[in-house]
Amino acid sequence: MFAEAPVTAPPYLATLLWLAPLPPLVAFALIALFFNRYRQLSSTIAVVSMLASTVMSFIVFFNVWQLKDLGKAPIRSTFPWLPTGDTVLNIGVGVDPLGATFLFMVPLACSLIFIYSTGYMANDPYYSRFFAYLSLFGGSMMGLVVSDNLLTLFIFWELMGFCSYSLIGFFFRKPSAYRAAVKAFMTTRVGDMLLLLGMAYLYTQTGTLSFHEILHNEEVLTKLAETPAVFGLSAAAAIALLIFGGTVGKSAQWPLHVWLPDAMEGPTPVSAMIHAATMVSAGVFMLLRFFPLLQAAGEHNTAFLVVALIGAFTAFMGATIAVAQYDIKRVLAFSTISQLGFMVAATGIGAYVAAAFHLLTHAFFKALLFLASGSVIHGVEHGHHAAHAHHAGHHGHSSHAGHEEEHGSEHEEHAHDHDFDPQDMRNMGGLARRMPITFATFLIGGAALAGVPFITAGFWSKDEIFADAYYHGLVKGDGLATLVFVLLVLSALMTAFYTTRQIVMTFLGEPRTEAAAHAEESVPSMTFPLIVLAVFALFIGFINVPKDFPVFGALVGGGAFWLKNFLASMLLEKPEAPPFNAVPVLFSIVVALGGIALGYMVYGVRPLTAGQTDPVERLPFFKFLHNRWYWDDLYRAIFVKPMQFIADRYSEAVDRGVIDRILEGGYALGARVTKGFAEFDRVVITGFSDAVGRAFRAAGDWVRDLQTGQVQGYLLSSLAMALVILIVFIFLFQ
Amino acid sequence: MTLQQVIFIILAIAVIGSALFVVTTSNLFRGALMLIVAFFGVAGFYVLLDNGLFAVAQVMIYIGAISILIIFSVMLTRGMQAMIPRNAQAGSVAIAAALLFLILLLAFGPFRLVVDLSGVPILSALFRTESARVLGGVPWQFANREVPETYIADFGRALVDLNQFLLPFLLVAFLVDAVLAGAIYIARQRKPAEVIAEREAIAKEEAEELAALQPQPNAPTLPQGAIASTADH
Amino acid sequence: MGLQNAINGIPLEWYLIVAAALFSIGLYGVLARKNAVAMLMGVELMLNSVNLNLLAFWRYLAPESAAGLAFAAFVFVVAAAETAVGLALIIAVYRSLKSVDPETLTQLKL
C-alpha cells in the first residue's frame, strides 16, 4: 500500500492545477449569463463542473500523496503578473502536502453538497441562481487551495466572502436573512482588513508573497524574526498576528464569531458549504500555511500565546452555548465555532499536524451533520404540511402538492409559517422511525463529533490534539498548554453532551408534534451524499493513527502517521512529536463516553414529551448561555447602535440648518448614546460608556458634514487629500 | 528665439486661453467651440513633437468625434442658454487647482529649488529631513535621438505583438464594443407607454417589498420559552 | 539651439508646464461647473494634458519605444468611450429629471 519506491510526479500536474478551479467558475458564468432560465440545465452544469474539478484534483492528489519531499519542492507554476518598482509580483498555482490534502477534501465535499442541493432546493423559484452562486463558491475555494501565494489566496478569499453574502441572504425577502448576510459580510470584513495589512507588511518586508519562498526559506524567516516591529513583537510575530486576524474573521473565532450562527439563515446546503468544506476551513487553512512564521517568531512568543488563548476560549465558549440552543442548525453552528477553536488552539500550542488532521476530519463529519439536519428540516416541513393539509380537511396525504407550494412560497412570503419552526428541536422527536437513513447518518456524524472511541474519525483527530496539549502542558510543564488542555477537555465533554442531547431530542422518544409524526424520508439525491459522507466520517481518521497506539497502530501497519509524514516536509523545523501516552487517550475516551452517558441520562432515559420543559433550562446560567453570552447584544450596544444613530442623525441633518442641527443633535445624540449604553451597562459593566460615547459623538459630528451626496464635493475632498499626499511625498520625502 | 519656440508659445497661449474660456463661460455652446480650438492646439504640439500620426488622430478623434458629440449634447440639453457658470465650491476648487499647478511647476519645472528643512524645529523632526531636498530640474535621461523613420510601423506591430500590447489592445476593442451597445441602450428614446409600464412595475415591486418588511406575528405555540431567532436582533 | 537637450529648441519642461496648466484647468472644470456636459469637457482637457505629457516623454526620453505611443492611443480610445457613455447618461438623466446639474443628482443617497 505504501510503496517505498521513489515516486515522481508527472509533468502535467501543474496544468491540472491551473485547470482544477476552472470548471465551477466557468459554470458560474454560464449559468449566470446564459442558462438562468433553465433550472434542470443549471443544476446539471454545476454538478458536472464540480465533478470535473474533483476528478482533476484527485488525479493530482493520487500522484503526489506518496511523495516524501513534496513540501521541500512543491509542484508550482508561476508567471510574473505585476511589476512593482524593483520587484515583480509573481502569481501562480502550486501544490504542497497541505494543499494536496485539501485538494482531496474540498472538491469531494463540495460535489456531495452540490448533489444534495439538487434535491434540497428542488422547489425553490431561484434554483438556477442558487447553483450559480454555489459554483462560484466551490470554484473560489478550489482556487484558494491551489494558490501558491497570498495575493491570489486573498482574491479567492474575498470572492468567497461575496458568495457567502449572497447565499446567506439567499431568501432575500426575509429580513432576518438579509440582515444575517450583511452581518456576516461586515464582520468578516474586520478580519480581512487585518489580513490585508498583514499582507502589505509581509510584502514590504520580503518583496514576495509566495508561500514557498517565504515560509520554506530559513533566511527570510530568520530575517523576519529578527526585524523588530511594534509592541516588542518581531516582524514575524506581527505579520502572523495580522494574518491570524483574517482567520479570526473567516473561521469565526472570538471576538468575531457572531456572524456564523446567523449565517444559518441561508439554505442548509450553504451552511454545509460555509461550515465544513469552504469558508471556515479557509481561515484555519491559511493559519496553518503561516505556521512556519509563528514558529520562526520563537517558541513562547506572543503570537503563539494569542492564537492558543483565542482558540481555547472559543472552543470552550462555543461548546457552552451549543448546550443551550434549540434550533437544530444553531447547535451545529456553535459546535462548528467550538471545533474551529480546537484547531486554532492546537495551532497555538504548536500541534501543526493535529490541527490539520482535525480540520480534515471535521470537514467531513460537519458537512454530514449539516446535510443530515437539512434532511431533518426538510422532512419536518414536509410532515408539517402533510399534517396541516390533513387537518384542513384536504384529502389525506396530499403532501406533495402542499410541500411544493410551501417551498415555492419561501421567497414570496418571507417565512413559511409564522407559528411553526421546523428547525426547533422541541418540535421534533421520534424521527428515527420516520427517517431511518437520515437517523443512521446523523448518528454517525454525531458520534464523530462527540469523539466516540476508535470507530470514528473525530476521535483520532481530537485525541491527537489532546496528546499534543498534554505532552506540552503536563509532561513538559508549559502553563499555556496545560490551560489549553483543560479547556479543550471540558469542551469535549460538553460536545459529547450536546450532541447526545441533539440526537435524542430529534430522533428518539415520541413525536412531539403532528409535523414530526408525519415527517418523511428525503429523496435519494439527498440521502446518497449523506451515506458517502458517513463513510468518510467513520474511516478518514485512519490516515493518521499514532504508530504505537495499542492494537490500531499495528492494524494499519505502515500506514500509521501517514498525514504526519506527508505534512512533515512542510516545515523546516519539525515540532517535537509527543511519544504515545495513555493518559490523554484515556481522557478523550472518558470525556466522550462520559458526555454521551450524561446526555443519555438526562434526555434518553425519559425522553421529552410535548410541552415539557427542557432540563437544561433549569441550569442557573441557562439564559446567559441561550443568549450566547450576550456578545451580540454587547456589539449591538457599542458598535451598531452608535453607527445607526450617526446615520440617522445625518439623514436628518441634511435637511436642516447647520446650527440648528448641531444644537439639537447634540442633545438627542447624548440621549440616544446613553440609551444604547444603558443596555450595555446592564449586560456587562459600567465605566467605558462616557468616554466611548464622547468619542462617537465627536466622530459623528465630524462625519455628518462630509456626506453630502454631491459628487463634486467628494471629488474636491479627494483632490485635497491628493494634494496633501503630493506635498508630503514630493517636498519632504522625494 | 527659433521659429519653433515662437510657434510653441503661440500654441501654448491658444490652448491655455481657450481652455480657461471653456471652464468659465456661461454659454456652453461657445465653450464647446473653444474646446475645439484647445484640441487643435494640442494637435499642434504633437506636430512639434515630430508625431504626425497622433496629430492626425487627435484631429480625427477629438475634433471629429468627441467635440461633435459634445456639441450635440449641449444642444440636446439646452446648454446653449445662459447658465450659472460655477457652483458653490468654485472658489476653493480654484485655489486647490492653482495649488496643484504650483506643486507640479515646482516639482517638475525647469527651476532648481533647494528646500532645507533640517533647521526648522518641528518639520525636521516630523519628516526626518536630515538633508536638503532638491526640487525641479529633474535630471531626465534624455535619449537625444531622432524619431525612427519607421515609428508608425513599429507602433502598429507593438499593438498586435503578444509580448507587448496585444492583450490591452483586445481589451480596449472589447470596451469600445460594449460602450457602443451601452451608449445606445442608455440614451435610446423610449415610448411613453413603455416608460409608464416600467415605472409601475418598479412601484409594485417596492410596495411588495414594503409589505414583506412589515412585522409579522411570530409567537411560538409549542413549549413556551425563548426560541432563538435572528429576527429579534 | 542654445538649450541642451532641447528638441527644435524647446526644452521638455515647457511641455510639462503647459500640460500641468491644462490639467489644473480641466480639474477646475470638473469640480466647479454646474453642468454635467461642462464637467465632461473638463475631463477631456485633463485627458489631453495626460496625452501631451505621454507624447512629450516619448519624444524626449524614448523615441524608439512604442510604449508611450501605445498608452497615448489607449487614452484616446478610453476618452472616446467615456465621452460616449457619459453623454448618453447625461441625456438619459436629462430626459427624466430635466436637469443636468450634478448637484441635483442625489437619488442614490438615502
Structural domains of chain C sorted by starting position, each given as residue range(s) with its CATH number in brackets:
12-97 (1.10.287.3510)
Nearest C-alpha in C relative to B2: C9
- Please tell me the predicted confidence (pLDDT) of residue C28: 94
- Please tell me the predicted confidence (pLDDT) of residue A678: 63
Give the model's confidence band at A415: pLDDT under 50 very low, under 70 low, under 90 confident, else very high: very low
B197 touches chain C (CB under 8 A): no
For residues A98 and A120, what is the distance between their CA atoms, to the nearest angstrom?
A: 32
What does the angle CA A696 – CA A699 – CA A704 come to, to the nearest 5 degrees? 120
Alpha helices (runs of H) in chain B, residue ranges in sequence order = 3-24, 28-48, 52-58, 68-76, 90-108, 121-127, 151-159, 166-187, 192-213
For A530-550, write each residue's pLDDT tens digit. 899 898 888 888 887 777 777
For residues A275 and A24, what is the distance between their CA atoms, to the nearest angstrom?
A: 19
Q: Which chain C residues are within 8 Å of B77, Cβ to Cβ? A: 37, 90-91, 94, 100
What does the angle CA A648 – CA A653 – CA A659 come to, to the nearest 5 degrees? 140
pLDDT beyond 60 at A626: yes
State whether B104 and C9 contact (CB < 8 Å). Answer: no
State the residue for C-alpha cell 476593442.
B173
Task: Kindly list the partner chains of chain B, i.e. chains with 3 or more CB atom pairs below 8 Å.
Answer: A, C
Distance from CA of C7 to the nearest CA of A (A): 27
State whether B227 and A720 contact (CB < 8 Å). Answer: no
* Alpha carbon separation from B98 to A31, B103, C20, C33 (Å, rounded): 52, 9, 10, 16
CATH class given for the domain over B1-82: mainly alpha
State whether A513 and B222 contact (CB < 8 Å). Answer: yes
pLDDT beyond 80 at A450: yes
Task: Kindly list the partner chains of chain C, i.e. chains with 3 or more CB atom pairs below 8 Å.
Answer: A, B
State whether A716 and C110 contact (CB < 8 Å). Answer: no
State whether A716 and C31 contact (CB < 8 Å). Answer: yes
For B165-180, write each residue's pLDDT tens digit. 899 999 999 999 999 8
Report residue A307 as a C-alpha cell: 492564537
Give the model's confidence band at A393: pLDDT under 50 very low, under 70 low, under 90 confident, else very high: very low
Sequential DSSP letters for A452-504: -TTTSHHHHHHHHHHHHHHIIIIITT-HHHHHHHHHHHHHHHHHHHHHHHHHH
Q: Is B114 left (phi over 0), alpha (psi -120 to 50) or beta?
A: beta
This complex has an ipTM of 0.90
CB A515 within 8 A of CB A416: no
- Please tell me the predicted confidence (pLDDT) of residue A663: 53
- The one-letter amino acid code at B226 reads A
Nearest C-alpha in A relative to B117: A732
B103 touches chain A (CB under 8 A): yes
Indicate the domain borders of chain A: 632-733
For residues A24 and A144, what is the distance between their CA atoms, to the nearest angstrom?
A: 13
Nearest C-alpha in C relative to A717: C31
For B71-90, write each residue's pLDDT tens digit. 888 888 875 566 777 888 88
Best residue of A648, A650, A715, A721 to probe chain C, by most C CBs closer than 10 Å: A715
- Which distant-in-sequence residues (6+ apart) come within 8 Å of B162 by Cβ? none
Positions of chain C with pLDDT lower than 50, given as ranges: 1-3
Q: Mean pLDDT, to the nearest integer, of A256-280? A: 82
State whether A427 and B222 contact (CB < 8 Å). Answer: yes
Distance from CA of C20 to the nearest CA of B (A): 6
State whether B2 and C1 contact (CB < 8 Å). Answer: yes
Indicate the domain borders of chain B: 1-82, 110-145, 151-209
pTM value?
Answer: 0.67
State whether C88 and B183 contact (CB < 8 Å). Answer: yes
